[in-house]
Structure 1
C-alpha cells in the first residue's frame, strides 16, 4: 500500500474472523499491529485462538509491515520514533509522517474494504512500536479507542515522549482513550551482554509514564498496566498482548 507523500510502499497483512463470510452485516473491532513483519504471524494466531475459545470478541487483525526494499530496523527506526537524532548518523524522527500515512491512507482503506467498526479501533505496539502508539495517543488520540503500549521505549531521545505529554496537557483536560501498558519484570536495566551496552530500566519508564498521565486527571482516560513476571524485552510481547487484548475485547 503506497504512501503518496513519501512514495514508500508498505505491505499490509489482514486476518479475517472465522465467521466473516457468514455474517454479511456484522462489523468487527479492528486491531492494528505495528512491527507486522515480525509480530503479525504469531499475534494474529494468538488473537484468533482467544476468539475461537470465546475469550475475546472476533476481530479483524491487521499487521503493518516495513517499507519495501528497506532493512526492517532502518524502516522502524525512522517511522516509529518521534524526534530526530542528528548526531547518531541514523535516520530517526519520522513518526509524524508515518502517522499521517496511517490516518490518511491505511485506516480509510480498511474502513472502505472491510467491515470494521470505526469506534472499536485498537493499536498494539511493542518497544519502538509502543513509543509510536504513545505519540499517537498524545497527538491524535481519536485515531484509536484503545492503545496497547508494550515495553515502550520511553527512554528514547532523553525521554522526549514526556515533552509531548506536557505539550498535550497544556491545552487539554480530556483524553478519551483506553491505555493498556505492559513490560517484562526483567526489563530493569543493567548490562546487556547480547548488545554489549547498558540497557534501560523499562519498568521504571512505564510506571513514570502511567503516573504522569494519572497525575493530569484527564477526563475520559482509562489506564491499566501490568508487569509480566519472569519476562525480558522480547519475552514479554506475547503474554503482554494476551493480557491487553483480553482487557480490550474480553467477553
Structure 2
C-alpha cells in the first residue's frame, strides 16, 4: 500500500471521531472572566448609568492592611482582557477599574452606532462643526465625563476598596488616549500616571497647546509620569502625537516624566503591545 493510500485510509478511519468532536463543540456556553466584578454606577451630575469592571489582586483578602495601586481605564469592555492578562503577570498587586460606556443610552442611537456610541461624547474635547453630527453624538463633553470620574468613580473605589490615592493610573487608547491628554492638562492631579496609547488628536492640538501654556499650570507643574505611544503605520496620528510630545517637552517641567514609544503596527495591531509595554513601564515605576 503506497503512502497516499495509507493517508486516505487514516483520514477515513478518523472521520467518525471527527464527527463526534464537531457535535460536542456545538454545545457551548458563555465564558466569564474570573475575578472580574461588575458594579453599576451612576453619573450623579448627568443622570447617566455606567458600569465598573473591577478586578482585585489575588492576595487582596489576605493582606488586609495593604493598600493597592489602581489602574483606571476607559473602553472597559475592549480593554479588560488585555489589561487583566498583562497585570496578572507583570503587576499582580494592582486593582483594575474599567469604566464602561453609558448603559442607558437611547436604543435607536445604540442600534445605529453601536454600544460604544457614548465614547464619542464622553472622550471628545471639542464640538463638531457639522450640526447634524453634533446633534446626534453631542461631541465635546470630556469635562462632564471627567467630573463623573473624579466625583463618582474614584470616590466609589477609594471608599470601598483599599486603593492608594497616590498611585492612581489612567489608561486610554485612541479617543481614550485623547481624553487622557485632556485630563493631564486640565486636572492633572486626578492621576499620578498617564498611559496615552495612539491618542486621536487630529483637531485638538491647538486647544491642548493653549491648556499647556496656561501660566498657573506652568507654575504649578504637572507632577505626573506619562507614557505616550503610537504605531509605526499611524502616519497622520503619529504626527499629531509628536506635536503633543513636543508641547509637553516645551514646558521644561521638572515634575513631568515623559516616556515616548513608537510601536510596530497600525492603530489596531499596535494596541496589544501598547498594553504590555505600558504595564511594564508602570511596573518599573512602582519598583523604583
* TM-score bracket, shorter-length normalisation: 0.7 to 0.9
In the alignment, is residue 74 of structure 1 matched against residue 117 of structure 2?
yes
Q: In structure 2, which of residues 273, 276, 285 is the aligned counterpart of residue 242 of structure 1? A: 276
In the alignment, is residue 35 of structure 1 matched against residue 70 of structure 2?
no
Q: In structure 2, which of residues 257, 262, 266 is the aligned counterpart of residue 232 of structure 1? A: 266
Greater relative contact order (CA < 8 Å, ≥ 6 in sequence): 1
Matched pairs, number: 232
Instruction: Give me the whole-angstrom Cα distance separating, in 2, the residues matched to 1:187 and 1:234.
Output: 10
**TM-score, normalised on structure 2?**
0.76
Higher radius of gyration, 1 or 2: 2
CA shift, 1:48, in A, is 1.3
RMSD (Å), alpha carbons: 1.6
Is the alpha carbon distance of 1:103 and 1:25 closer, same or farther for their aligned partners in structure 2, counting shifts above 3 Å?
same
Instruction: Give me the whole-angstrom Cα distance separating, in 1, the residues matched to 2:191 and 2:176.
Output: 15
Q: In structure 1, which of residues 112, 126, 136 is the aligned counterpart of residue 173 of structure 2? A: 126
Gapped regions of structure 1 (runs ≥ 5): 51-55, 189-200
Q: Which residue of 1 aligns with 2:130?
A: 87
CA shift, 1:23, in A, is 0.6
User: In 2, are the aligned partners of 1:85 and 1:157 still within 8 Å (CA)?
Assistant: no
Q: Which residue of 2 aligns with 1:48?
A: 88
Is the alpha carbon distance of 1:129 and 1:67 closer, same or farther for their aligned partners in structure 2, counting shifts above 3 Å?
same
Instruction: Give me the whole-angstrom Cα distance separating, in 2, the residues matched to 1:158 and 1:21.
Output: 44
Instruction: Give me the whole-angstrom Cα distance separating, in 2, the residues matched to 1:169 and 1:131.
Output: 22
Gapped regions of structure 2 (runs ≥ 5): 1-40
Three-state SS of the structure 2 residue aligned to 1:219 is coil
User: Could you list the runs of 4 or more consecutive aligned residues of structure 1 that deviate by over 6 angstroms after TM superposition?
Assistant: none
User: In 1, are the aligned partners of 2:101 and 2:117 still within 8 Å (CA)?
Assistant: no
In the alignment, is residue 150 of structure 1 matched against residue 197 of structure 2?
yes
More strand by share: 1
**TM-score, normalised on structure 1?**
0.87
